Structure formats: C-alpha cells, structure tokens
Amino acid sequence: MVTAGLRRLLALALLGALGHAASAATGVSVLPAPPDTGPVTVFYPTAAPVARFVRGPFSFELASDAPALRGNGHLIVMSHGSGGSPWPQADLAIALVDAGFTVAMPEHAGDNYRDMRDVGPATWRHRPREVSQAIDAMAADARFAPLLDFRHVGVYGMSAGGLTALTLAGARWSPALLDAHCQAHLAEDFPACVGLATALTGGLLDGMRLAVARRVIQFKLGSQTTLESWTDPRITAAVAAVPMAAVIDMGSIATPRIPLGLVRAGKDEWLAPPWHIDAVRAACTTCVLIADMPTAGHGSILSPQPPDLPPRAARLLDDPPGFDRASLPAVYGAIARFFVQNLAP
C-alpha cells in the first residue's frame, strides 16, 4: 500500500511539474454500468472535505459523491490492465485531479478483478468501445456534463489498457499477428503469449511447454487475421504505459492520428520491452517517450500496488530489486504535463 509520505511526494512533484498549486480535493463517484460493460469510477476536483475511503485492502483520502468542480475542464479516461480495477491506479488518477483533470475509469467486462473469463483478444476488441461508452456516460451525467469539454478527451492505458490507448491513437491489430510473434519468440516473451497458466522453469519440461503452447496459440489465434480498429474523434491525446503491442501491425502506428506518449519499464518481464514498448518506439515517428523507468517492472507504474497476489502474478507485477517507488511522482507529473500540453484546443 502506498505510504502517506509517497502521496505527499506525488502531490509536490506534480505541483512542481505543472507550475501551480492544487486548488481542490479529490472526489470519487461511481456511474452505473453502460450496456454490456462495467461501472465507471470517476475521480474529480471538489471543494468538499475528504475522509477515509476504503475499498478492499486500499485506503485513500477522498470525498465520496461530493459536488464536482470544473477543474481544467478536461476528461481523461483510464483503461486498466487485465484483471484490474480502479484502485491500483488511483494514485495516478488523484495526481491527474491535482492537475485539474476529471478522470473516468471503466471496468472492462470479462477482464477485471471480479471476472477474467475473456482475458485476451476477446476483451481487447471491445475495450476501445467501452472507453467511448465511458465518455458517453460522463456526457449524459448532469453533474459532469456541464463541466467538461467533450471535444478534447485524453485516454491513458496500462498493459492491456495500453493496447486500448494505442488502438484509439490509430493502431490496428489482429490475433494472428500475436500468433506469428509467439511462434517466433515464444521463449523470450512467454508470459505475454501464455499469461499466468504456466511458466518456464529452466527444467526438462520446458520443451514440452513450448511445443504445447505453440500449438494451442496457433489453433486459437492463427486464423483470426482481420485487423481490428476503433476511432473516437473526441479522443485527441493518448498515453500508453507498458502496452501489449506484439499484436499490432506496426505500420499502422508509424504516424498516430493524435499525440501519443509512452511510458517504458526497462525490467518488464510480462511484456518484454523489445517486442512491445520498444517496437512501438521504433515504428512510431512522432511518439513521445514521457518516462523511461529502467529499473521498473511491469507493475511498477501501479500505485498503490495490489497486495497478496498469487505467486506467478506477484513475480511479474511486484517491483524488481532496485526499483525506487519515490521515482513515481516524477512519472505521474510527466503524464499530467503531457495531457496539459496536448488537450488544449
């Protein structure tokens, strides 16, 4: 769980990065679920007093269902990673609220902490639509609709949510491209191709694991060659953190349709950088590397960190030795600054 000291560092670094003082606290509210998806958790500026707000193992100082302030008038939609929820990304959301933004986090159907039945391409297809539905829900809510400019919306995504952000920036992808990648680089990028079902151990059974995985992946994905895409003209800036990207037609992201920022973790063992974030950087001519965290792992961008993870998930999401969580305030400040600079009309 993030410490109060780290939260103070987050706030101070953000204020320094943006050059102004925060004028509001953070409110939190939950909008009803749009059709065929999950509820939308909203973090927003408010003048109301905060109180202890607990969700599962996570604790924050927030104003629940308080009246909203306009802030800077811009909305950012955050797309969580596989099996995610709003709370491990709440400190980033609060930092964005400190910068004046309103933040909406849809719960992706079939790929969240309560329900992981559709993890993978099935949910990757409908995640961008769920982002659009979250914008629609905010525009239909009497509390938030008058306060926000829905012509210039930002999107932030981490991991599978990073693929969502890349898709909304113009990337096209297909399961067959992931199959081709996994056939060629399965051993080097095993968690990205197989997930948490099994792991390579360096033992005698690894050869069998690789052979079986190749056959299963080809059977499930090889024939799905249609390139998937989704465009929402209201989204005019995007940030992708440690994104799933081996599935992408890299030519489609060479010139994104909107400003696109990237966040890299140098010791990411779930989505190995050479095949994901570094491949996007090599292909994209206009992308901005907002933050490069050379000692960070796949889950190091999350704050507060999810506790009590199963061993395989913990190995891939916990911080590697040497990563300093005190570096997160600067990363969050850089993300906020990117949106401040790129969401102006």
Yes or no: say if 303 and 224 are a contact pair by the CB < 8 Å rule: no
Q: Quick one: pLDDT at residue 56?
A: 85
Q: Quick one: pLDDT at residue 136?
A: 96
CA distance 199 to 178: 18
Report the DSSP pairing between strands 58-64 and 51-55: antiparallel
How does DSSP assign 99-136, residue by residue? TT-EEEEE--TTSBTTB-TTTTHHHHHHHHHHHHHHHH
User: How far is CA 30 from each of CA 64, 66, 86, 282, rounded to the nearest angstrom?
Assistant: 9, 11, 11, 39
Report the DSSP pairing between strands 235-241 and 260-265: parallel
13-18-23 Cα angle (round to 5): 90
Q: Quick one: pLDDT at residue 311?
A: 83
Domains and CATH numbers, the chain: 4-173+227-342 (3.40.50.1820)
pLDDT 10s per residue in the chain (345 long)? 344 444 444 544 444 444 444 457 999 999 988 888 889 999 999 999 999 999 888 889 999 999 999 999 999 999 998 888 889 999 999 999 999 999 999 999 878 788 878 888 989 999 999 999 999 999 999 999 999 999 999 999 999 999 999 999 999 999 999 999 999 999 999 999 988 778 878 888 888 889 998 999 989 988 899 999 999 999 999 999 999 999 999 999 999 999 999 999 999 999 999 999 999 999 999 999 999 999 999 999 999 988 878 787 888 889 999 999 999 999 999 999 999 999 976
pTM of the complete model: 0.89
Eight-class DSSP state of 151: T
Q: Quick one: pLDDT at residue 308?
A: 77
Residue with tokens 């033992």: 203
CA distance 167 to 152: 17
